[in-house]
Amino acid sequence: MPDISTVIPGTGRPKLDSVGQTVSPAVAAFVRQAAAICLREAACKSGFEVLLIASRGSGEWGLPKGHVEPGETSYQTALREAYEEVGVVGEVEEAVLDTFRYRKPDSDTNYRVAVHLLSVSRTLEEFPESGWRTMQWVPLRMASRWIANVQLAGILDMAFHSSMLKAHSA
């Protein structure tokens, strides 16, 4: 069910968007999406790499993501989108790592994206959207520098620091 509240609960004050404008009821609704941080071990065993994908519209770097379909969980969506958009197969974590929001240019639609980690077991040559997008494997430690969305960049930084802690505790 979309969150269409435009007032901060208990305060009577209007909610504001990222630039300080009052959120209208049309803008307050959001569309659920899910994304996958597709990780593989770097060839030289120097940590992890993440697969980034360029947006068809803006060309900005991001993650494979898409709408959560009826009856689908966010982790199922993340796994499906990773296969459809970048041709990776692997094991996805059911738990949401974090979420971020964004709005497409010239649109009043807000998107809320649940982000899941996906451990890549193989990459495919042929997949539903092969040839449609530019993709790049990037060291996880540098991935946030490629990302325009500040919230998503923070999630990638968190994933990098989490992977470093796990590596040192093993």
Q: How far is CA 159 from the centre of its chain?
A: 12
| Residue 5, pLDDT score | 46
**pTM of the predicted protein model:** 0.78
How crowded is residue 9: how many other Cβ atoms within 10 Å of its Cβ? 8
Residue 79 confidence (pLDDT): 97
- Residue labelled with tokens 């796994």: 79
Q: Is 11 a domain residue?
A: no
88: in domain: yes
The answer to whether the Cα torsion of 19, 25, 26, 31 is positive or negative is: positive
Q: What is the pLDDT of residue 19?
A: 44
**What pLDDT does residue 165 have?**
47
Compute the residue count for the chain: 170
End-to-end CA distance of the chain, in Å?
41
In a domain, 128, yes or no: yes
On whether residue 108 sits in a domain, the answer given is yes
| pLDDT for res 22 | 53
Tell me, yes or no, whether 85 lies in a domain: yes
Residue 15 pLDDT:
52
The number of domains in the chain is: 1
Structure tokens at 126: 């042929």
**pLDDT value for 170:** 46
CATH of the domain at 90: 3.90.79.10
Range of the domain at 58: 25-169
In a domain, 158, yes or no: yes
| Burial (0-12, 13-18, 19+ Cβ within 10 Å), 163 | middle
Question: What pLDDT is stored for residue 29 in this prediction?
Answer: 75
**61-62 vs 88-92, strand pairing mode:** unpaired
In a domain, 38, yes or no: yes
What is the residue-level pLDDT of the chain in tens, covering all 170 positions? Answer: 334 345 455 555 555 544 455 555 544 578 999 999 999 988 776 789 999 999 887 889 999 999 999 999 999 999 999 999 999 999 999 999 999 998 877 778 899 999 999 999 999 999 999 888 899 999 999 999 999 899 999 999 988 887 654 543 44
